Each structure stands twice: as structure tokens, then as C-alpha cells.
Amino acid sequence: MLLRISLIVAILAGLAAGGLGYYEVSNQVPALTKQRDDEHTAKVSALTELAQTKSKLKRTQSDLAQTQQDLADTKSDLAKADARAEEESKQVDQLNQKLTDVTAQRDDAQNNLAAYKATLLTPEQVLALNKQLTDAKKGLIALNDENSILARNLKIVRSKLNEIIGPDPDIKLPANLHGNVLVMDPKWDFVVVSIGESQGAVPDAELLVSRQGKLVAKVVLRSVEKDRSIANIVPGWKLGEPIEGDEVTPAHPDS
């Protein structure tokens, strides 16, 4: 009986404890549910904010990269603009220098024109000066012709004098006298050359015959015509056989 009572008491105590626990649990469940819901909501909100923050960070990074690229482009454009400005500045300086030079040239030209106008001759004075110049040129030409004739006559006189008193071995001929061998007679050792009295040749004058810069022979003029002469090879001076086309020059050029 006592055992039964004890079991009943234990059952009642268990029921009371279970009911008390249920009561306490039933009172805590809403709070726990609310706490869970609040924590879930906070977690969802935090995740949302984190996603938004990541998105903003990504956009910020993209904006930063674009800003850096824009900054680099701006620096490049600024450097190009500075280079263009420097080049344009140089061009401006060059144009200013050219303007200064042109202005100076214009001033010089104006001064020269003024000086020329100050000394400008009248048409009558110009005609008179032209006449004087023409007369002077004619006189000079006549003197030159007369000198040439006198020089030629002098050489002829010397040549005739040489025939009387003996030849002058150093008869001078014009330094610019040049000709060529036209005919060669190896049997009689005489040549016909392409220079004569018109070129200043005179009898008994000596010529050197050369070929490609090498001396071939020395000849002495015996018969002088207007544009050609006959010459004999000087004994001992025949270093080779003269041929047609060999060059002849004065042995004693007049300096």
C-alpha cells in the first residue's frame, strides 16, 4: 500500500514537474521562435547588406580602375598638349625671327632704293655714258688687234732675222697654243701640224710632240701657213715615231 502511494506520489510529482516544464517551455518557445526569427532576419539583412557592400565595392573598384585609366589618358593628353604647345611656341619664335629678318631686309631694300634714287642718272646721262663705254670698247678692241698684229709682225721679223744671223733656240710661242699632228712623213722626218700664223705660230719656233702625256719628239717649224705648218724633227729628239693625232705644244711657252 505504501508502495502504491509512493508510486502515485512519484507519478504526481512527475506530472507536476512535466507540467511545470511544459509550462516553462511553452512560455519560452515564442521567445525562442522570435529570437530565431530575429536572428534569421538579421542574418538575411546582414547577408543582403554584405552582397550590396560587395556589389558597391566591385562598382567602386571598377570606377576606380576607370578613374585611373581616365587619369592616365588625361596625363597622356596633357603631355601631348604640352608637346604641341612647345612646338607651336617654337614655330611662333621662328615666325617672329623670320618676320624680324624680312623686316630688316625690307628696310635695307628701302634704304638701297632711296640711295639709288639719290644717285639716279638722267636718261641723257645714261646715253652719254653708254656712248663713252661703247667708244672705249671699240678703242680697246682696236688696241688689242693692233697689239696682236704688232706681236705677229715682231715674231715674223725675228724669224727673218734668225734666217740672217741664225735661229734663236728659245722663240716664245703663246702658252695656250695647242694643236695636233695632221700628217707624218717617216722617210723625211717632217710633220704637218694643225697650227699656223692665225694661232701665233712663227718659223723656227719649236714644238713638243706628245702622246698620252709622254714626249715623242721635238720639232722645229720651217714653213708656216695660215692654219697649218710644216715642221722637221729636231735631231736627237726623236724618242718615238710621231703619228696622226699626237698633241703639239710650245717647247718655249710665253709666260
Q: Mind listing the pLDDT tens digit for each residue in 26-51?
A: 666 666 677 777 777 877 777 888 88
- Provide the pLDDT for residue 15: 64
In a domain, 23, yes or no: yes
pLDDT at 117 over 80: no
- Whether residues 106 and 196 fall in one domain: no
Residues 25 and 110 both lie in one domain: yes
Query: Looking at the domain assignment, is residue 57 inside a domain?
Result: yes
pLDDT at 154: 61
Domain boundary residue among 84, 105, 121?
121
Dihedral of the alpha carbons of 118, 120, 124, 126, in degrees to the nearest 10: 150
Domain assignment present for residue 153? The answer is no
pLDDT of residue 69: 87
Identify which has the larger pLDDT, 175 or 116. Answer: 175
Is there a single domain that holds both residue 75 and residue 186?
no
Does 5 lie in the same domain as 116?
yes
For residue 198, what is the DSSP state?
Answer: G
Q: How many domains does the chain have?
A: 2
- The mean pLDDT value for 191-220 works out to 93
Chain centroid to CA 13: 121
Indicate whether 8 and 67 sit together in one domain: yes
Same domain assignment for residues 103 and 180: no
- The domain that holds 215 is classified in CATH as 2.40.10.340
Residue 175, domain member (yes or no): yes
- Could you give the count of Cα atoms lying within 13 Å of 55 in the half-sphere of its Cβ? 6
Out of 63, 93, 121, pick the residue that ends a domain. 121
Asked if pLDDT for residue 165 goes beyond 50, the answer is: no
- Using DSSP's 3-state secondary structure scheme, residue 185 falls into strand
On whether both 2 and 117 belong to a single domain, the answer is yes
Q: Which three cell numbers stand for residue 73?
A: 589618358
> From start to end of the chain, where are the E strands?
173-174, 179-185, 190-193, 206-211, 214-224, 229-233, 247-250, 253-254
Both 94 and 199 in one domain: the answer is no
Identify the domain containing residue 61 by its residue range. Answer: 1-121
Question: Could you give the CA distance from residue 71 to residue 94 in angstroms, rounded to a whole number?
Answer: 34
